[in-house]
Amino acid sequence: MTTVSRTLSILIPVYNEKTTVLELLRRVEAVPLPVAKQIVIVDDGSTDGTRDILKGLGDRAKVVLHERNKGKGAALRTALAHATGDIVIIQDADLEYDPVDYPGLLAPLLDGRADAVYGSRFLGGTHRVLFFWHAFGNNIFTLITNVLYNINLTDMGTCYKVFLTEKIKAIPLHSERFGIEAEITAKICKRHLRIYEVPISYSGRTYEEGKKITWKDGFSYLFCLLRYRVLD
């Protein structure tokens, strides 16, 4: 793998994750990589004490604060604006996704095969057994994506999306909330980026444990998939 002068910008949107954010940061810092790391954390108006934790991080991460909750899409756009690395990865702060998977995700980008890599929860990685309807819904939206954009993804809704920075920064993004997942996928497909998938592990949360996405966000997925098939 090519490793000369490469930096990975890790974009972490955070909203009310005081119990997990420090452990997530520890895992990000601990994972060995053949590239340098830039950690960008955007607190999206947390009210549970997360902001106080983040303010004490010093130079461990670039921390940006939203004064009010705007949504995951808005937080990701803010984080992307502060990314200085050659490659960017999206990382949730809730410990559902483990940074130990970074090396596999980076490999197709570092060796020049890919412009984007998706970490798939459905390609054989270890995963916690949880909600049927969440998996069913994700499969439906993935199928719609594949039909509309003539691709063969297995996990459109995955958090782990990795890009060459110059490619993703060239794409105008507008979604405020969870629809950002569908918008990104639609627009990279329309631009014919080289997309790879690799298997990842997944430790999903229950709603009692803090999971935030709901069935209502499915409408945002569908709206974005249909809208950006026609518009840009």
For residue 205 the two structure tokens come to 């949360």
Q: Is the dihedral of CA 61, 36, 127, 140 positive or negative?
A: positive
pLDDT tens, position by position, 59-71: 999 999 999 999 9
Whole-number pLDDT of residue 3? 44
Whole-number pLDDT of residue 136? 80
Give me the CATH topology for the region 7-230.
Spore Coat Polysaccharide Biosynthesis Protein SpsA; Chain A (3.90.550)
Whole-number pLDDT of residue 219? 78
Question: Can you tell me the distance from the alpha carbon of 187 to that of 222, in angstroms, rounded to the nearest whole number?
Answer: 14
Reading the chain (232 residues) residue by residue, the pLDDT tens digits are 444 579 999 999 999 999 999 999 999 999 999 999 999 999 999 999 999 999 999 999 999 999 999 999 999 999 999 999 999 999 999 999 999 999 999 999 999 999 999 999 988 767 666 667 677 878 899 999 999 999 999 999 899 999 999 999 999 999 998 889 999 999 999 999 999 999 999 987 565 565 556 667 677 888 889 999 988 7
Whole-number pLDDT of residue 209? 61
pTM of the entire predicted model: 0.88
Domain boundaries, the chain: 7-230
